[in-house]
């Protein structure tokens, strides 16, 4: 289903032929993100991502960059995370040459115009303001801050207004030259392609990529001995909360058990928390449980928007479900439903070329190993109800528990007491 090719310079190429589509996606991933930054350069990965759309030698300005794919109805964008930065173009397969030329051009030959840096400071500042004015999104930032504090894993990927306004071209160039190198880059192409021809074309486009060694990230420090709480006061009509626990990283042997645990708790409309919080009690419109696993960090978190007067009741109900799944074995039917849900969703998702490119590219970048869907399904099917019980007992210990919320509350006393009471009962 896929082919991995590693060039002598360290560049990794993944090709995923898909004859059932008329589309093709070119995705280039750099193994760098906000976890690779310092306090002074916080937000530089994200800033650089924006600057790659401002001009190259071949396409000298932002209009030329945008028009290239607009003229053929292409879908293109970029993203920045904690561990990686990605650039992609999805086009009709007949336009593959154009998409590869465009992505390789911005990735290797962006000129970072000085005047555009000044303009982009304003753009990114407004992006930060947008998140701060969106309590649902801001709760997620508070969650990371609570877990990891004043270190890269706890900072906003976009940086701060101060760090963004202090950004300059020499810093951007230095970061680009140090991180956007062959051994830190993956080119993944999925869709209606000829495998051999695609690899040959990628080799030609990326022949000039730098071959120096990239800068490594600082090790994440995790330290927690008791339940923790972070309350951000804002006069909102609804409280947005994140309640969960530290969990397993990508390389933990029980990571797939943790994934299934998250699905059972709040990953689907028939999950325990969705039924209890929304359908039975009517406390929330949205409630979801997500699992996040990175190479060095991991957590399970339930996020919800609750009427300000019902926050304590919602928190108590979530904690009750955490306790219940830690103490009582689930039925085989419920476990099978969660497994089938994961497999069904993945099957549907991987019908598109962009999802296939991300699926294989992200695995190779973060894990240096790539599993097919069938291999992942096999691991999921090995999960037993005993595994769920043991992992829930391990994760939902008081020392792992965290609550971050944004709402009209000026102190955290009541919330601390809720966590303390639950811990004593646990």
Tell me the pLDDT tens digit for each residue of 131-172: 999 999 999 999 999 999 999 999 999 999 999 999 999 999
Q: Whole-angstrom Cα distance, residue 277 to residue 320?
A: 11
CA quadruple 192, 195, 200, 206: dihedral, nearest 10: 60
Residue 106 near residue 372, CB atoms below 8 Å: no
Give the model's pLDDT for residue 185.
98
DSSP characters over 49-70: HHHTTS-BSSS-SHHHHHHHHH
Q: Which residues contact 352 (CB under 8 A, 6 or more apart)?
A: 21, 23, 25
Q: What DSSP element (H or E) covers 317?
A: helix 311-327
Residue 103 near residue 29, CB atoms below 8 Å: no
Residue 255 near residue 318, CB atoms below 8 Å: no
H-helix segments, 185-240: 195-205
**Per-residue pLDDT at 98 exceeds 90:** yes
**Per-residue pLDDT at 15 exceeds 80:** yes
Q: Whole-angstrom Cα distance, residue 270 to residue 314?
A: 18
Tell me the pLDDT tens digit for each residue of 318-365: 999 999 999 999 999 999 999 999 999 999 999 999 999 999 999 999
Annotated catalytic residue within 49, 82, 116, 364: 49
Please give the CATH number for the structural domain made up of 3-205.
3.30.830.10
CA end-to-end distance (rounded Å), the chain: 46
Tell me the pLDDT tens digit for each residue of 375-414: 999 999 999 999 999 999 999 999 999 999 999 999 999 9
pLDDT category of residue 1 using cuts at 50, 70 and 90: confident
Residue 15 near residue 364, CB atoms below 8 Å: no
Q: Name the pTM for this structure.
A: 0.96
CATH topology of domain 228-425: Cytochrome Bc1 Complex; Chain A, domain 1 (3.30.830)
Q: Whole-angstrom Cα distance, residue 174 to residue 169?
A: 8
Mean pLDDT of 7-28: 97
Burial of residue 225, with CB atoms counted within 10 A of its CB: 0-12 exposed, 13-18 middle, 19 or more buried: exposed
Q: Give the residue range(s) of CATH 3.30.830.10 domains in the chain.
A: 3-205, 228-425
Tell me the pLDDT tens digit for each residue of 42-97: 999 999 999 999 999 999 999 999 999 999 999 999 999 999 999 999 999 999 99
Q: Is 49 designated active site?
A: yes
Q: Whole-angstrom Cα distance, residue 164 to residue 48?
A: 11
Burial of residue 209, with CB atoms counted within 10 A of its CB: 0-12 exposed, 13-18 middle, 19 or more buried: buried
Place of tokens 């695609």: 198
Question: In whole angstroms, how far apart are CA 340 and each of 37, 347, 367, 381?
Answer: 39, 10, 25, 9
Give the model's pLDDT for residue 156.
98
Tell me the pLDDT tens digit for each residue of 268-307: 999 999 999 999 999 999 999 999 999 999 999 999 999 9
H-helix segments, 156-252: 161-165, 169-179, 195-205
Q: Please, what is the average pLDDT of the chain? A: 97
**Per-residue pLDDT at 426 exceeds 80:** no
């Amino acid at each position: 289903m896929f082919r991995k090719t590693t060039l002598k310079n360290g560049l990794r190429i993944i090709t995923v032929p898909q004859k059932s589509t008329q589309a093709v996606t070119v995705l280039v991933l750099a193994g760098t993100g906000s976890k690779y930054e310092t306090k002074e350069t916080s937000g530089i990965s994200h800033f650089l991502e924006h600057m790659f759309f401002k001009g190259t030698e071949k396409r000298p300005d932002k209009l030329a960059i945008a028009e290239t794919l607009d003229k053929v109805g292409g879908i293109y964008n970029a993203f920045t995370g904690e561990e990686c930065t990605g650039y992609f173009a999805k086009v009709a397969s007949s336009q593959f040459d154009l998409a590869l030329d465009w992505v390789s051009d911005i990735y290797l030959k962006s000129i970072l115009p000085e005047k555009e840096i000044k303009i982009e400071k304003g753009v990114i500042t407004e992006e930060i303001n947008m998140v701060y004015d969106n309590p649902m999104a801001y709760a997620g930032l508070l969650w990371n801050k609570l877990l990891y504090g004043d270190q890269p894993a706890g900072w906003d990927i976009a940086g701060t207004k101060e760090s963004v306004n202090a950004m300059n071209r020499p810093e951007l160039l230095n970061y680009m030259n140090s991180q956007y190198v062959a051994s830190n880059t993956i080119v993944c192409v999925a869709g209606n392609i000829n495998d051999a021809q695609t690899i040959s074309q990628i080799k030609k486009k990326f022949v000039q990529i730098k071959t120096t060694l990239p800068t490594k990230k600082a090790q994440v420090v995790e330290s927690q001995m008791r339940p923790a709480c972070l309350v951000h006061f804002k006069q909102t009509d609804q409280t947005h909360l994140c309640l969960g626990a530290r969990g397993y990283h990508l390389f933990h042997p029980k990571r797939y058990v943790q994934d299934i645990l998250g699905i059972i708790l709040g990953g689907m409309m028939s999950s325990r928390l969705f039924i209890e919080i929304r359908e039975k009690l009517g406390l929330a419109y949205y409630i979801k449980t997500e699992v996040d696993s990175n190479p060095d960090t991991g957590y399970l978190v339930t996020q919800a928007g609750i009427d300000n007067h019902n926050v304590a009741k919602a928190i108590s109900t979530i904690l009750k479900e955490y306790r219940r799944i830690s103490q009582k074995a689930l039925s085989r039917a419920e476990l099978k439903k969660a497994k089938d849900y994961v497999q069904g969703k993945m099957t549907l998702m991987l019908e598109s070329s962009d999802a296939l490119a991300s699926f294989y590219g992200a695995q190779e970048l973060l894990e240096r190993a790539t599993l097919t869907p069938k291999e992942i399904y096999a691991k999921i099917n090995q999960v037993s109800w005993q595994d769920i019980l043991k992992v829930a007992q391990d994760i939902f210990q008081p020392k792992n528990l965290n609550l971050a919320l944004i709402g009209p509350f000026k102190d955290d006393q009541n919330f601390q007491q809720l966590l303390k009471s639950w811990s004593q009962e646990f």
